[in-house]
Amino acid sequence: MILESIGVFFLAALSYWLRKLSLSGALCAILVGVSIAYGTGLPGLLLLAGFFISSVVWSMLLKSKKENDIDLKDGARDGSQVLANGGVAAILAVLSGVTGEKLFFLGFVVALAAATSDTWASELGRLSRGKPIDVIRFQRVKTGTSGAVSLLGTIAALMGSFFIVGLAYVIEGATYSLSLFLGMVLAGFIGNLVDTYVGATVQVKYRCQDCQTVTEKIEHCGNVTIKDRGYRIFNNESVNLLCTVVAPLFFFALYGIFR
Ligand SMILES: [Zn+2]
């Protein structure tokens, strides 16, 4: 636990230094990491590292490929973004440690799989050659728009969920049945689908008054953007949070079938 916490602290400090996390982001990452260390020990921490390191690696590898003026996925993550992605996983990890209930650990894996699915989809989806399609309006929209999908992004979402569940499978000594394994991958992916659907329907979007780009950013072309549609409560963070809440709930509801 102490050794693990030192590892968490080191990784958070490194991420802060690399400007992948802001100060509030690093502090919240320590909170999430130590909760997971407390609840699950090393296995959960390795999964958290899998999520975090893969996200950072994708963003570094793909950084220069495409300009991003639509979404908020660039720059250092702040505390609310870290909690939106890792908060539910941390709570489930603590529940797993306190109760000793295996189901909570599986839910923890699924919440992390959902966060990974979402992150990989948005990082890799950017590389898609065609413009993504808005899932509600069936129109092509600018790369990076919430609620739009591409084939590459969808495959990346599946792979992200598969990566975390696969890592858990390896770490846990391959104790899952095939149906449980696939159910967990599916649940993580469903979280990403909810993220996309909410992104296309009620998530708040702003419009740049200069270039008319619809964006999640509150500033564009050096000016403040105006609200275009959606509800302010459904911002990038709350939608991410919803993604990581829905995935384990979906999994718990269907656990009887998956197990
Ligand atoms: Zn603009």
Name the residues around ion ligand 1, CB cutoff 5 A.
208, 210-211, 213, 220-221
C-beta of residue 142 within 8 angstroms of C-beta of residue 131? yes
Query: 227 CA distance to ligand 1 centroid (A)?
Result: 13
CA distances from residue 205 to 181, 201, 212 in whole angstroms, order as listed: 36, 10, 12
Per-residue pLDDT for the chain (259 aa), expressed as one digit of tens each?
Answer: 888 899 999 999 999 998 889 999 999 999 999 999 999 999 999 999 999 889 888 888 877 555 566 666 667 889 999 999 999 999 999 999 999 999 999 999 999 999 999 999 988 888 888 888 888 888 888 887 888 888 899 999 999 999 999 999 999 887 889 999 999 999 999 999 999 999 888 999 999 999 888 888 888 998 999 999 999 899 989 999 999 999 999 999 999 998 8
**Unique residue bearing structure tokens 């209930």:** 101
Measured CA to CA, the distance from residue 53 to residue 55 in angstroms comes to 5
Amino acid (1-letter code) at residue 228: D
State both tokens at 175. Answer: 């104790």
| Angle at CA of residue 78, ends 41 and 104, nearest 5° | 30
- Cα 156 to averaged position of ligand 1 atoms, centre (Å): 29
- Interacting residues of 257 by C-beta distance below 8 A, sequence separation 6+: 179, 183
Measured in Å, residue 237 CA sits from the centre of ligand 1 at 22
pTM: 0.91
Q: 219 C-alpha vs ligand 1 centroid, how far in Å?
A: 8
Going from the Cα of 215 to the center of ligand 1, the distance in angstroms, rounded, reads 9
* Angle (CA) 71 76 78, round 5°: 90
| Whole-number Å distance between alpha carbons of 120 and 151 | 13
**Dist CA 242 CA 60 (whole Å):** 26
- 132 Rama sector, left if φ>0, alpha if ψ -120 to 50, beta otherwise: beta
Q: Which residue has the tokens 């939608």?
A: 239
Yes or no: say if 250 and 190 are a contact pair by the CB < 8 Å rule.
yes
